[in-house]
Chain A
Amino acid sequence: MKADAKGVLTGAHYLDGDHACAEGALAAGCRFFAGYPITPSTEVAERIASRFPLVGGLFVQMEDELASMAAILGASWAGKKSMTVTSGPGFSLMMENIGLGAMTETPCVIVNVQRGGPSTGLPTLPGQQDMMQARWGSHGDYEIIAVVPNSPQECFDLTIEAFNLSEKYRVPVMVMMDECVGHMTERVDIPAASELEVYNRKLYDGPKDQYLPYKVENGNGQVPLMANAGDGYRFHITGLTHDERGYPAMNAEVQQQCVSRLMDKITGNAADICRYEEHRLKGAEVVVVTYGISSRVTMRAIELAQAKGLSVGMFRLITAWPFPEKRIKELAEKVKSLVMVELNMGQMVHELERCVAGRAKVFLSPHAGGWVHDPDDILKLIQEAAK
């Protein structure tokens, strides 16, 4: 369906990534925010706090990030599209309740404007060091979705996408920004509400005494229908392993069904979820795989490499999780080598290596964070990878 015009600030704007993310949330229909301010994500919260009163949203500054995450889960069950925003240290604190969100299949969006870590690390400087934590940070087996914008325009677009995916697949979706993209200001075009597609959760509307909150209807992609609290349906939600009724059923058989479905609903729909951008891949011998701010730095290195006559292209992750495994495997069959450029000491490169599985050479351009790569360093690695 189309977006609610009330939240859509249609027009051309000059916004930083943080503010663009906030506008994306408003356009997507987010009307509940709970968070605790942390650099470099605070501007997202500030803008939401100033805009929410105009659209009937509720902004709550919580006591910490544990509570923030818990609050957005509760608000989601009350029928609101909900979001929180943080950076590394807060992201760590959210992990337990992100698992609760995955287990209870609660639509919500978590924005992480990444800074350098570990611990409090570099509050005002960039990193892309939470990419594996996004996937594996909470205990147990589950799948999540994570998108990685590389411009303020994409901060807007992908925040809407994050809400749509979270509502469609009933899963916490992470918007993995970085300090550079969050604090970079560019033109952001916000279309008319009538041109913005938003997805709202599918609700159960059958007889009140027959609602099974975790029963999967045929044709709904492994995703059960939701009922919002207060709509008159009586049901139970728990982080314990549960059956179709939502009640604890702690045995191996139900665990197998429950966990498998949590994973299958994402991996089985990866083709629908995964987005990526390919640049000059045709005939390329070397492919640089990258994401977020690193993709924009890589573009300069690729221009330098092409000027030297090297056959090099770029594959940009827009969805980091689920990882675009199928496409990477296809590319690995065709190219000499793949180079990962990321602002960490090697995270997504593990996933790349897993998918490439020896079909081509894999190189990593690591960086501890605090600033972006020197394009010349990337160029040198491309030259080595082309040998």
Chain B
Amino acid sequence: MRTEIRFSGLGGQGIILSGILSGKAAALFGNKHATMTQSFGPEARGSACSAQLVVSDEKIFYPYVTRPSILVAMSQEAYQKFSPDLAENGILIIDEDLVTVNDTNGQISPLAIPATRFAEGLGNRILANLVMLGFFSAATEAISPDSFKKAIPGSVPERFLDLNMQAFGRGHSYGTESAAERTRQIRLKA
């Protein structure tokens, strides 16, 4: 089965690293094929930026994401830009403090986490992407948390490894415990 995933946000939020870590987790530790492509150029350095990941049980030829079934949005601009492409019945995951969902037809019911706030609670907002990955892993089951835990070492600075693992764990436990409840709390604007 082919799963298309898009991670999006602002340049500097660690969006590309989210794509790399997810692809690495799937391809090296999850027994899957995974191809990651990324926005490149000025947009990766400050404005709406995204990383695309195709995960499949079979060899991947066409490497691009056209109709993602999972969209992770960590900024309003990214949400506005990328949510129209989300597949029907796709999963939208947002940082609830940074993204207001204004879906008019009520089709999209996002899974939400205050990832950046949690990261600040851990001492640094730069960890928000790892919090989000933990949540993503719990909420979608596209890539297992065990695979992520093997993928993170070597891909983040050694001296911040523990902090990154904590951030991942924070997002993951929040996801498993309360994703459903959180979802209900999102007020969809009519």
Q: Which residues of A contact B (CB under 8 A)?
A: 12-14, 40, 123-124, 179-180, 183-187, 293, 296-297, 299-300, 372, 375
A124 pairs with B40, CB closer than 8 A: yes
B28 pairs with A12, CB closer than 8 A: yes
Q: A14-B23, A296-B63, A297-B62 are in contact. Are A40 and B40 (CB under 8 A)?
A: yes
Q: Which of B19, B20, B37, B61: most chain A Cβ within 10 A? A: B61
Cβ of B34 within 8 Å of any chain A Cβ, yes or no, is: yes
Q: A124-B41, A375-B62 are in contact. Are A184 and B35 (CB under 8 A)?
A: yes
B40 pairs with A372, CB closer than 8 A: no
Complexed CA–CA distance, A13 and B33 (Å): 13
Q: A40-B40, A124-B41 are in contact. Are A186 and B61 (CB under 8 A)?
A: no
Interface pairs (14), CB distance under 8 Å: A14-B27, A124-B40, A180-B63, A183-B40, A185-B19, A185-B20, A185-B23, A186-B27, A186-B34, A187-B33, A187-B34, A296-B61, A299-B62, A300-B61
B35 pairs with A185, CB closer than 8 A: yes
Chain B residues with Cβ below 8 Å from A12 are: 28
A122, closest chain B residue (CB): B41
A184 pairs with B37, CB closer than 8 A: yes
Closest Cβ of chain B to A177, distance in Å, is 14
Closest Cβ of chain A to B46, distance in Å, is 15
Chain B residues with Cβ below 8 Å from A296 are: 61-63
Complexed CA–CA distance, A159 and B144 (Å): 34
Chain A residues with Cβ below 8 Å from B82 are: none
Q: Which residues of B contact A (CB under 8 A)?
A: 19-20, 23-24, 27-28, 33-38, 40-41, 60-64, 151
B61 pairs with A299, CB closer than 8 A: yes
Closest Cβ of chain A to B143, distance in Å, is 13
B35 pairs with A186, CB closer than 8 A: yes
B36, closest chain A residue (CB): A185
Complexed CA–CA distance, A34 and B125 (Å): 40
Please tell me which one of the listed residues A123, A186, A299, A372 contacts residue B36 in the complex, with CB atoms under 8 A apart: A186
B27 pairs with A372, CB closer than 8 A: no
Complexed CA–CA distance, A293 and B37 (Å): 13
Chain A residues with Cβ below 8 Å from B33 are: 186-187
A297, closest chain B residue (CB): B62
B53, closest chain A residue (CB): A185
Complexed CA–CA distance, A214 and B17 (Å): 52
State the 7 A-B residue pairs at the shortest beta-carbon distance, nearest first: A299-B61, A14-B24, A185-B36, A187-B27, A300-B62, A124-B41, A296-B61
Chain A residues with Cβ below 8 Å from B35 are: 184-186
Chain A residues with Cβ below 8 Å from B34 are: 14, 186-187
Closest Cβ of chain B to A220, distance in Å, is 40
Chain B residues with Cβ below 8 Å from A297 are: 62
